[in-house]
Structure formats: structure tokens, C-alpha cells
Amino acid sequence: MSNNIGDPGHGHSPAAWTAVVIMLVAVALGTLFYFLDLPALVWASAALLVVGAIVGWVMSRVGYGVNGSKYAAKEH
């Protein structure tokens, strides 16, 4: 392993984790709703997927991203 100082953190931030969790729930629900043949809820899940990406972007811009002012990296 290298200790590259320019390493962006690979998404280990509250913004990234929140976005991924929201999008993971959206995909899981979309799969369930597709299986149950509920097209309106499949589309709602697709919308939630987009919302998850937007939430992650907004949180990153507010300062919860990898290089944000409100993010404190943990030592490994």
C-alpha cells in the first residue's frame, strides 16, 4: 500500500455514505416493486435514486465531502 498524499479518500465521507445508502435502498425497493409488478413505485424508486445522488452532491458542497470543512478524516 502506498501513502499517496493526493489520495481523495475514495468516498469515505458522510456525503458519500449517505448518498450510497439512499441509492442502495432505492435500488432494493425498485427491484422489489418490479418483482411485485408495481410500475408507479418502480418509477418512484428511480426518482429516489436521483434524489440520493443530489443529496450526496449537496452534502459535499455544504462541507461533508472528503475535503470539506466539516469532515474529519479518521486514522486507520
pLDDT of residue 70: 76
Give the span between the Cα atoms of 33 and 29, in whole angstroms. Answer: 6
pLDDT tens per residue, range 13-24: 888 899 999 999
- CA–CA distances in Å: residue 47 to residues 7, 23, 44, 60, 64: 32, 10, 5, 20, 23
What global pTM score does this model have? 0.80
Quick one: what percent of the chain has pLDDT higher than 70? 80
Residue 19 grid cell: 448518498
pLDDT of residue 2: 53
Give the span between the Cα atoms of 54 and 65, in whole angstroms. Answer: 13
